[in-house]
Structure formats: C-alpha cells, structure tokens
Amino acid sequence: MARTKLNERQLDVLRRICHGGTPITSDDSGIAATVYALRTRGLVTTAWAHGRWTAAPTEAGLRHLAPTDVTPAPRPSAGAPSAAPEAAELISRVQQAGGTLHIANPTPDERARVRRALHAARADHLVPDGHRLQHTGRDKGDLVVTLRPGPPPRRPTPPSETIPVPDNLSPERLHPAAATAHIPACPDCQPRARRILHALCHAAEAKNYTVSNPATGSAVSLVITIGDDSSFPLSFHEGSYEVPDPSGAKYAWQRVSGRTTRPSHELQLSIEHTYAHRGRRSHWGDRQRWRLEDKLPTLFQEIAHRAHIEYERREAQQRKEEETRQRWLTAMQQARTALLEDHRLKALRTQVQAWQEATAIRAYCDALEDHHVTPDVAEATTAWTAWARAYADRIDPIPQNPRPPEPPAITPEDLRPYLHGWSPYEPKRK
C-alpha cells in the first residue's frame, strides 16, 4: 500500500501523537486543523472524554512512521541548541533596525519561529545587559519586536490560593446550587460546567459568601453575594464554530452552500456587566494555553476586588449623605433661630412703637392743658384729654411689665425663607 504523502507540519504532529510524551488534546487549538487532517487520512483518532478530545495513533499512523521515520517528536526546551542561532540572529536584526523590528503580517510558521527565538534569547541570556526584549502580535496582526533599555517587566504573581475542581463527581454529591443551575452548554460540557460551579460554591462558602440560584427564567447560572449588598451574577457560555451543512443538498453532486453551527466545547464564565465596574475584566474561558479551571482564582480575586470597590463606594456615599444631613440639620437650626429672632424683633418693634405713641399722646395732652382755652370749650377739651390719657395708658407697654413673646408654632413652610435653598422637609436642595 502506497504511503500517504504528508507535509512537514503534518509529519511533526503525527510524530508527537505517536511518540511524544505529552498527549495532544483539543486544548492545543493551534494544531487542531492538522489533527483533523490526519484523522481524515485514517492516521489518528480523536476520542472525547471530560469535555475534550485526545488524539491517538492508528495502526496506519504507526506504520507510516516505521521504519524510515521513527524520529520522536522534539520536545520544547528552554535551552534547545537549534533555537540559539535563530535567537542570536533575531537580536542582531532588532539591533540593526534601531531597537524595533517590524514584521508585517507574518505567516503562522514564521510567527511561531520568532516566538521560539524570543524564548531562547531570554532563556540563554542573549538579551544585552540592561535591556528588555518584548513583542506584540503573538497570534495575529503585525509582529513587532522591541529591544529597550531597562529591566525586564515583572511577571504577575500567580494567585496563591487554588480552587480545586474534581475530575469526577456524581450528581448526588454536587452542591445544590450547582446541581440546579441553568447552564446553556451542550450535554458533553454539562458535567464539567457543574463541577466548576460546585468548586466555586464551596470556595465561596469557605469565605462566608452566599451562593444562590437566580429567579426562574434567568440566563444567570449562579449568584455569589458578599455581605448584604454586593451580588455578582455568573453566567456560562459555550463557544461554537461553523461547518458545512449537507442537509440542504438534494443530490450528491450538488454544491453544499449551507452552514450550520456546532458547539466548540470551550466554556466561558462571565460576571454580569455593570457600568459601576466598566473597563474591568469580566470574562474567563478556555484558551490554547489554559483551561477555565485554571482561571477560577483570578475570577474570585476580581469578585473580591469588586466587592471592596462597592463597599468603599457605599461608605463614601454614606459619609457624603451624613455630611449633607448634618449641613441640613445645621441649616434647619439656624433657620429656626432666625425665625424666632424675627418673631421677637417684631414684638419688640410693636412695643416700642406703642410706647412712643403713648409718650407722644401724654406730651400732647400736657401741651393742650397748658394752652389757654375759652370757657365755652374748656369742658370738651378736658374730656378729650382725659380720654386721650386713658388711651395712652391702655397702649403703653411699660406698666404691663412686658416679657419676651411666646414662641410661635413653626411649620416647615415657615422655615423655607430662612433655609437659603435647602428643602424644609429633607436634606436636599431645590
């Protein structure tokens, strides 16, 4: 039987599957297309387990590498000698370019080759002293490699705590919130998603958080509540990809133009988006270099950080409201004092005006009595002055021993003119 002709990349992947020490799984999304091509040729098989497939060689695949091609797949090594010349050449090219090497839209193979050279340059200490080597465009777009003065950037410290997710767990042992959670994923991913929620529930309760399921009909899978006011809804999502849909073709010779979607078995967990935390990370999921389970501590750190931010905001809001309330109470007290002051001034002015009027009447009566009047009007004048003096005695406050007036019954509207824009009913301005 003639041997199937493979390109170099396919041969390399086949060697890794047949002789490599590390299993090839769907986590290695960068070579998934090559695995599918080998599977189509009958050289490998892919078996699903625990939400992902694992590639295994067939008899045809093993025969394809024997006896002329039995070289085991090269294992990545930080100090591989084959990458050192490429690393030295890359450093030289960056230096000749003035510290910035720009590679426009490289091919995937060239992009991978540059990344290997960058790794070897750092591992073999080929980067000049006092400089750091960085790059952008790891997976798409232009690839830009820079060599700049300064220490290498610090890598973020991985989370110290871990959230273990069990590999197998019977439905009876699931946390109640995880067992009843709404998870929009394919049946193959349901057990894994529930195990992840199970681990999150136990980790949350260990921190005295509260876990619960949302109301019926919600797309949210789980709600984690910290304290009494900070709730964080978590939602699962599963990716998908398009494939040709032959169901629309009536004849074998007809061109298949329809497309349909299939689940990718890649899970993503999201915190509900709110404008209170806009700009912060809210999605964690399966990637080529990690799985969702590896990112659960980071997700928990984000939840704790958001809870702390919300706590500080509430404290600041409460302080602001209390300061506003104190200013309003002060304004209300000052308004009452000013109203009482005006009430007393009004009473005082009334008394002074009455006293002045009584004094003026008596002086007038004295002047009238001293005036020589004719006998025909003397009796009438005497009666008039007597009445006038009696009236002066009635309005004169001095003989009545005047006291401060009684405080008036004050209503909120009475205080409004004295509040300078404050509401008389609540600590708010107009």
DSSP codes joined into one string, 269-297: EEEPP-GGGTTS--EEE--SS--GGGGHH
Q: Is the dihedral of CA 136, 238, 195, 47 positive or negative?
A: negative
Does residue 378 belong to any structural domain of this protein? yes
How confident is the model over 149-184, as pLDDT tens digits? 877 655 554 545 788 999 888 889 999 999 999 998
How confident is the model over 78-100, as pLDDT tens digits? 333 446 778 888 888 888 888 89
3-state secondary structure of 224: strand
CA-closest candidate to residue 199, choices 307, 264, 281, 291: 291
What is the domain-level CATH number for residue 60? 1.10.10.10
Same domain, yes or no: 181 and 273? yes
pTM exceeds 0.85, yes or no = no
CB-CB neighbours of 266 under 10 Å: 22
| Axis-axis angle for helices 296-370, 190-206 (nearest 10) | 50
The first and second tokens of residue 391, run together, are 């009236």
Which residue range is the domain that position 18 belongs to?
A: 8-65
Does residue 315 belong to any structural domain of this protein? no
The vertex-87 CA angle with 71 and 146, nearest 5°, equals 140
Does residue 302 belong to any structural domain of this protein? no
Q: What is the count of structural domains for the chain?
A: 4
Same domain, yes or no: 61 and 85? no
Same domain, yes or no: 104 and 205? no
Which residue matches tokens 């040709």? 244
Same domain, yes or no: 183 and 221? yes
The first and second tokens of residue 54, run together, are 């694992």
Same domain, yes or no: 106 and 131? yes
Same domain, yes or no: 14 and 85? no
Does residue 423 belong to any structural domain of this protein? no
Does residue 206 belong to any structural domain of this protein? yes
In percent, the amount of the chain with pLDDT more than 90 equals: 36
Same domain, yes or no: 200 and 239? yes
Distances (CA, A) of 131 to 90, 151, 225, 293, 392: 15, 6, 46, 35, 104
pLDDT tens series, the chain, 430 aa:
445 577 777 888 888 888 766 778 777 767 777 887 788 788 888 877 666 778 888 888 788 876 544 444 444 443 334 467 788 888 888 888 888 988 888 888 888 888 888 888 877 777 887 788 888 887 778 888 988 887 765 555 454 578 899 988 888 999 999 999 999 899 999 999 999 999 999 999 998 899 999 887 788 999 999 988 889 999 999 888 887 777 776 777 777 677 788 888 899 999 988 888 888 889 999 988 889 999 999 998 999 999 999 989 989 999 999 999 999 999 999 999 999 999 999 999 999 999 999 999 999 999 988 887 777 788 888 899 999 999 999 999 998 888 889 999 999 999 999 999 999 999 998 7
Domain boundary among 149, 179, 206: 149
Does residue 123 belong to any structural domain of this protein? yes
Same domain, yes or no: 221 and 281? yes
The first and second tokens of residue 302, run together, are 């984000």
Check: CB of residue 182 under 8 Å from CB of residue 190. no
Does residue 71 belong to any structural domain of this protein? no
> Cα(151)–Cα(398) distance, rounded to whole angstroms?
93
Does residue 294 belong to any structural domain of this protein? no
